[in-house]
Amino acid sequence: MPFTYTRTVHFQDTDAAGVVYFANVLAMCHEAYEASLAASGINLKAFFSNPEVAFPIIHASVDFYRPMFAGDLLMIQLTPKQVTGDEFEIVYQVFLAGELAGRSAAKALTKHVCIDALSRTRKQLSEDLMQWMSKFEI
């Protein structure tokens, strides 16, 4: 079952036209990713400052379907999936909530690789991450 994260669009998320600035959708998706890690029991401070392992994003994309404005309530559904022994991807579905509930606003994708933080070489995904994926995978 996907992880669901609810967030209100803030004025600072918007551009001069009053709609969410395209890059900020990825920032909101990353918030959902962090919230899902925490919900599965992963210590965020230890995860993101681990001197031995890192999970950089190697690809990101967003498709937009509807404008999002300051004050809109969003529901971001996150579904992770293992791609290889050292890679995973996350699909994000961004829906408008509240009075526009269920209307798709955007879809995003991030692909990550697991690396040794010192040598910058690929390594197998950690057990914690595998458990996180199995919790929210479809």
Phi, psi angles (nearest 5°) of residue 26: -65, -35
Tokens representing 20? 């969410």
In the chain, which ranges are continuous DSSP H helix?
22-39, 44-48, 127-136
Q: For this structure, is 13 an active site residue?
A: no
Q: How many residues does the chain have?
A: 138
Rounded CA-CA distance 1/20 in Å is: 27
- CA–CA separation, 72 vs 51, rounded Å? 38
What distance lies between CA 45 and its chain's CA centroid?
Answer: 17
Catalytic residue among 13, 15, 116, 128: 15
| Residues involved in catalysis | 15
